[in-house]
Amino acid sequence: MPTGYWVSVYGTFSDPEKQAAPAIAAGGGRALVRGGRVMAHNAGSIERVVVIQFDSFEQAVAARESADYQQALAALDDGVERYFRIVEGID
């Protein structure tokens, strides 16, 4: 079964204390990339990139829809501007 990934690219990340890591871990997610150095090409400024791996695409979708993650999103409020995708990996 192909893995699932969350891929988030942040244009702004104003409060690094606001994170959804506990909710992501509760949903079975494992961080592969969280911050670190970024070299942006073609799309301008990028402040942060996050890649989270799940055992399946379905698990990635379920984690995004979970009550825990929805609460974490509400707590993030307007602290981030991001482009978020759930993608299926190659098995």
Give the chain's domains with CATH numbers. Answer: 4-88 (3.30.70.100)
Measured between its terminal Cα atoms, the distance across the chain in Å is 6
What pLDDT does residue 52 have? 96
Amino acid at position 49, single letter: V
What pLDDT does residue 18 have? 67
Q: What is the pTM of this model?
A: 0.86
Q: Tell me: the pLDDT tens digits for 22-68?
A: 899 999 999 999 888 888 787 667 778 899 999 999 999 999 999 99
| Residue 36 CB partners (closer than 8 Å, separation 6+) | 49
Tokens at 6, concatenated:
């969350």
What pLDDT does residue 15 have? 66
DSSP states along 60-84:
HHHHHHSHHHHHHHHHHTTSEEEEE
Q: Tell me: the pLDDT tens digits for 11-28?
A: 777 666 667 888 999 999
